[in-house]
Amino acid sequence: MQEQESSRHQTKVLVVGATGYLGKYMIRELKQRGYWGRALARSRAKLNAVADCVDEIFVGEATRAETLEGVCDEIDIVFSSLGITRQRDGLTYTDVDYQANKNVLDIAIQSGVEKFLYVSALNADKLPNIQILAAKERFVSELQASPIKSIVVRPNGFYSDMIEVLKMARQGRVYVFGTGEYRSNPIHGADLATFCIDQFSTENTACDVGGPEILTTNEIARLAFAAVGKEPRITRVPLWIKSLVLFFARTLTSVKIYGPIEFFLTVLTMDMIAPTTGSHTLAEFFEREANEMT
């Protein structure tokens, strides 16, 4: 009887973006902390790595509203980290970061979901001219204007984004912009998942978050070289080259090409510092990834 009572009051969470870097950590953390979790995915196979942590898999596509009927049934909280960094399948930032999330929000409202936590990006509200960030914040505006209690989390870059630095280090040289002294505190997916679940107790809030270490790009490069066991060789790229690349990318290519370039060149040439949290260090992450590369 007590077990039935506990099950009846177990908070049920829908994870949207479940197959992404953060989504998989979120699924594991939800299970560990006693939540009931439903994951939205295009296919069951995409969730094989975390299948033992999912209570239910809903097969559907957030970009196609007609496939989502019932996805929010009996759900208390929707968590969404859905978005694209590099465009694929002919979809745009508007299609995914905005419209796909809105499709889920519309169904959540119809289903009486209490809260919706959305993961945007650090400084997205301050960089409206960046295509991917504009799409994210357009959805934030929709969410905050909706009747659902909203929670917006704007994290710094993920550790997974730092893999490109590690790959350059393996090749023997890392390129950084300017003097290499721009600072940031990227965050591990496990630490971010923990932080997001901690926010479930809040409502109608928005917060920035980053990892435990504030590092310069030079320091990040040196950590990558240390992980692969090579002497640091860092080449500093003049900032005027960034402006030239952006000009030609925006002039000569479509948003599918220049969108990711625009985003990464912008965030790599400014300080990106958020309130710190977590315990996973970048050095440990690099060492683990470097071992898997060998």
Torsion of CA 273, 279, 282, 286, to 10 degrees: -160
Q: Rounded to whole angstroms, what are the CA distances from 194 to 27, 43, 145, 151, 285?
A: 11, 26, 26, 15, 17
Q: For the chain, what is the mean pLDDT?
A: 91
**Mind listing the pLDDT tens digit for each residue in 24-50?**
999 999 999 999 999 999 999 989 999
Residue bearing the bigger pLDDT, 248 or 215: 215
pLDDT band at residue 87 under the 50/70/90 scheme? low
- 117 pLDDT band, cuts 50/70/90, is very high
Banded pLDDT at 4 (limits 50, 70, 90): very low
- pLDDT, tens digit, 9 for 90 and up, residues 229-286: 999 999 999 988 878 887 776 777 666 666 677 777 888 889 999 999 999 999 999 9
Residue with tokens 């320091």: 219
- Please report the DSSP string for 248-263 in residue order: HHHHHS-HHHHHHHHH
> Tokens 């917006």 map to which residue?
152
Q: How far apart are CA 183 and CA 222, in angstroms?
A: 14
Do residues 262 and 254 lie in contact, with contact meaning Cβ atoms separated by under 8 Å?
Answer: no
Backbone phi and psi for residue 174, each to the nearest 5 degrees, phi listed first: -115, 135
Answer whether residue 64 shows pLDDT above 50. yes
pLDDT band at 92 (very low <50, low <70, confident <90, very high): confident
Of 143 and 8, more confident: 143
> What type of residue is 267?
V
Average pLDDT over residues 198-225: 97
In whole angstroms, what is the distance from residue 136 CA to residue 292 CA? 33
**Ranked by mean pLDDT, which of 5-19, 142-156, 243-257 comes out on top?**
142-156
Characterize 89-128 residue by residue with b for buried, 16 or more Cβ atoms within 10 angstroms of its Cβ, and e for exposed: eeebbbbbbbbbbbbbbebbeeeebebbbbbbbbbbbebe
Query: Would you list the DSSP string of 3-28?
Result: HHHHHHT--EEEEESTTSHHHHHHHH
